[in-house]
Amino acid sequence: MSTTVTELDKVKTGRWSGGRSPFNVEYGKIMMWFFLTSDAFTFSAFLIYYGTQRFAHITWPDPDKVFQSIPFVADYGYPLVFVGIMTFILIMSSVTMVLAVEAGHRNAKKEVVWWMIATIIGGLTFVGCQALEWTHLHHQGFWWGSIPGQEGVSPDVALAPYFTKEISEVAALQFANLFFTITGFHGFHVSIGILLNIIILGMTLAGTFERRGSYLMVEKVGLYWHFVDLVWVFVFTFFYLV
């Protein structure tokens, strides 16, 4: 009887040969990544449409002139300052989220709780700031399908404060629609993130992860939270800087 093992009978040890997780990533986490990839496509589509509209118009509202208020401080004269504060808040809450994940790896329940609370406060502050900015723009006359101006006032006069180059009603309208749609969709994501963070905080407090022996759920929700931050980095560049 031959003792040689044929190729077919050999025990396979490759990454994809079975018996182990080829990516070494837990199922739920993979699914979160794939969801985020598809969500990134949605946001990309929005921002690319914004770019297309900008390219299709001779002129475009100047973001430095549209966004120059600091709520409760000044109505105009401070371009980018308020959005800078918002960006800082969101980056900060991303950091507290990573710190919660890091504490989770050490099974340090108390630290996870505190970092999660910090993250939730950061998220709420960001959404609050966005609400203030929306209110300000709405008072100026910007909304879905509407731009500053009233009966008897020529659009050239009403829109003059928002343009550096030529004035265009169509461009202003596109800008208003896209601003509220894109920041609204992002704000919706932040709100969902806050809700998920609150659920995770509740589960941590209830000791669910302690009993499971793993804080992997914190990591999965963390991925979503960082994604929201990531999207803001792009929204910030394309709406406020460029």
Our finding on whether 67 is near another protein (CB under 8 A) is no
Q: How many Cα atoms are found within 13 Å in the side-chain-facing hemisphere of 54?
A: 17
Our finding on whether 76 is near another protein (CB under 8 A) is no
* Contact region with another protein (CB under 8 A), list: 1-9, 38-46, 125-133, 137-145: 38-46
Contact 67, 80 (CB under 8 A): yes
Our finding on whether 40 is near another protein (CB under 8 A) is yes
Closest CA to 202 of 124, 113, 137, 125: 113
Per-residue CA distances from 44 to 37, 60, 62, 176, 234 (Å)? 10, 20, 22, 18, 9
Residue listed under structure tokens 């900008």: 54
* Alpha helices (H) in the chain, listed in sequence order: 27-56, 63-66, 81-105, 109-140, 155-159, 169-205, 208-212, 216-235
What is the distance between the alpha carbons of residues 122 and 78, in angstroms, rounded to a whole number? 23
Our finding on whether 124 is near another protein (CB under 8 A) is no
Q: At what angle do helices 27-56 and 169-205 cross, to 10 degrees?
A: 170
Amino acid identity at 128: G
Site string for another protein, 80-99 (x = CB under 8 A): x---x--xx--xx-xx-xxx
**3-class secondary structure, 98:** helix
Our finding on whether 118 is near another protein (CB under 8 A) is no
Our finding on whether 39 is near another protein (CB under 8 A) is no
Our finding on whether 11 is near another protein (CB under 8 A) is no
Our finding on whether 114 is near another protein (CB under 8 A) is no
* Contact region with another protein (CB under 8 A), list: 6-14, 65-73, 198-206, 212-220: 212-220
- The encoded tokens of residue 68 equal 């120059």
Tell me which residues in 43-62 interact with another protein (CB under 8 A). Answer: 44-45, 48-49, 51-59
Our finding on whether 64 is near another protein (CB under 8 A) is yes
Site string for another protein, 128-167 (x = CB under 8 A): --------------------------------------xx
The site for another protein (CB under 8 A) is made up of: 15, 21-26, 30, 33-34, 36-37, 40-41, 44-45, 48-49, 51-59, 64, 79-80, 84, 87-88, 91-92, 94-95, 97-99, 102, 105, 166-171, 211-216, 219, 222-223, 226-227, 229-230, 233-234, 236-237, 241-242
